[in-house]
Amino acid sequence: MKAIFFKTTAIIAFGLFFVLKAQAQFETVYIGVNGLTCSQCSRTVELNIRKLDFVADVQMNLEHTEGKIVLKKNKKADMDKIAQAVINAGFSVRYLQADLVVDNSVTSTGSCINYKGDQYVLTAAPKEPIKGTVKLKFLGKKFMPKNELKKIEVNDNDKCGEVSGKVYHVSLS
């Protein structure tokens, strides 16, 4: 009886290890916000971001006009919604970067990363396979000032095959 119990426990533990290990996701988002001049401005942005169901915590830094957003585990993050929350608060995004933990649920080929139905098109293909934690800088109208956007070439039609979700243009930071 004890042997069956230990075998069953070992099988369950082994299965949980692989299930937990396969949970890739965005963990942290770093956002620069233009126009923050007072604590009330910062608080307004923070409260708008906290309303998003995939956000666990928000820490704003008024001195540097930026924030750190901790995301909930096992929830799909939507970078467009984060940027829109800042815009809805009356401000604009200076930059948006996110840490993506890459494991076997993330596929990457050349300059494309596919994750939870969304596609992340890199401005340049990495020289080595992407693994571990990578920082992605989001590119586009919602994620950066117009003068910065003019310096780079982002083609909204660029994508890597079929995609069921959103297409984001990113660079490795």
The model's pTM is 0.80
Over the stretch 100-145, which tens digit does the pLDDT of each residue have? 988 766 666 778 888 888 889 888 877 777 788 899 999 999 999 9
Q: What is the mean pLDDT of residues 75-103?
A: 95
- Of all residues in the chain, the percent with pLDDT exceeding 70 is 79
CA distance 124 to 84: 27
CB 36 within 8 A of CB 62: yes
